Amino acid sequence: MVIPGSTTDYQLTPIAFSTPVFSDNVQDLLGVGILSQNLNAIITVNSTADVLDDSDGVTSLREAIISANADDGEDTIVFERALFSTVETITLTGGELDITDNLSIIAPRDTLTGGDLVTISGNNTSRVFEIEEEATVRLNGLIIADGRVGDNGDGIRNSSTLILDNSIIRDSSAISIDDRGIINNPNGGGIFKTGRLSVNNSTISSNRTTNGTGTGGISNTGGTISVNHSTISGNSSEFGGGGISNSSGISVNHSTISGNLSEFGGGISNSSGISVNHSTISGNSSLSSRFDSGGGISNRGKFLLNNSNVSGNSVTGNFGSGGGIFNGSIRSDTPNITIINSTISGNSAPENGGGIFNDYNGTVTLLFSTLTQNQAANGGGVYSRTGSNSVQNPIIASNLNSDNGVNPDVSDTFTSNG
């Protein structure tokens, strides 16, 4: 929404706060329904400098956060309309920004393009945000970039609850969430978290890990995550899950996971519970020669794929398998993936299962779904070695077995339920 007299657009959902406030900015914000009537304090940033100076007559973002931390209430930080009417960057020179209390940081967006106007850069020398335990934080309309630190969470390290709306996290090491918080280290570049993370209408791109066992995009090892109407793209990891690595609980809805790269599970690596709904997993790659590569998805847990597309993913290692999906685990008795009303197409692997490779007692259930134009040396559509396969009303056609042309669509036994 555009605040009267402004050319910038504050895209916000209502936020409930507990204590009344009186501020020059309050009437404008209340007038457009952006904030509820019970506010504690609104602090306006009117400088792009990263300074601590009470005598300079301006308020930096660092000063605003320190002030909010000192207040027991739930504060809101906004940005002066005149200064931040065009794209501006706040480059951190004093280290990461620590948030210890409930806080919303709301940045304006361009009214014509809808683009974010405020970038907070770690300057490739520090993490951008550290969110401490028991703080609930909402970041809206920010670009968080260039985080770098020899610890966890280059972009954001979160130990509590984070709601990320209309924002971009880019050019850091990864995003991870576990029982420690959102952090970046060799195990994660964008966000690493223990509590709860909600990503809405946001982009997580070009984050990376260069060593360790981390994930380029989002890594969840102990918390809960929901990703909604968002894009996770161009992230990379030298281990599993270029886009997402999950060993706890996560849901992905109406989102795109594309162009990510890792050793296995180029798009998603899952070892716990995950649901993907109305989403696209495309153009991801696994570089591994492991049999369990999984260009789009590598699943060792429980996976629900519903009304989604898995397309154009690939395994590029010499002996890798599961161009679209790998399902199975030597560590688990019950790896299973249920695919409903979905399409798996145009995926490729040099060895087994261009569309799906099912192994190690894994279970694949395919309901009202299509597998087509996938390619592998063996089982272009589906290759199952020791797993169980069940189908109902599927279309499995026009897949390619590049080795000998035998069984191009399916290899192994399938149970049909209609």
- 58: in domain: no
- The CA-atom distances, in angstroms, between 186 and each of 97, 206, 239, 376 are 20, 15, 11, 33
pTM of the model: 0.86
Q: Residue 237 has what pLDDT?
A: 86
Q: Is the residue at 135 inside a domain?
A: yes
In a domain, 19, yes or no: no
Q: Digits of tens for pLDDT over the chain (418 positions)?
A: 443 344 555 454 433 333 333 233 433 443 334 444 445 899 999 999 999 999 999 999 999 999 999 988 899 999 999 999 999 999 999 999 999 999 999 999 998 898 999 999 999 888 899 888 889 999 999 999 998 766 555 678 777 889 999 999 998 764 555 433 344 333 445 565 567 899 999 999 998 876 656 677 888 877 889 999 999 999 998 888 999 988 889 999 999 999 999 999 999 999 999 999 999 999 999 987 666 789 999 999 999 999 999 999 999 978 899 999 999 987 766 899 999 999 999 999 999 999 999 998 899 999 999 999 999 999 999 999 888 999 999 999 999 998 777 779 988 777 888 7
Whether residue 36 lies inside any domain: the answer is no
H or E segment and range at residue 68: helix 61-70
Pairing of strands 244-246, 268-270: parallel
- Kindly state whether residue 43 falls inside one of the protein's structural domains: no
Residue span of the structural domain in which 185 resides: 79-416
Nearest C-alpha neighbor of 382 from the set 416, 361, 354: 354
Question: In this structure, is residue 247 part of a structural domain?
Answer: yes
What is the per-residue pLDDT for 93?
96
Q: Find tokens 């909010």 and name the residue.
A: 68
Looking at the 3D structure of the chain, how many domains does it have?
Answer: 1
In a domain, 132, yes or no: yes
In a domain, 33, yes or no: no
The values of phi and psi at residue 209, to 5°, are -120, 140
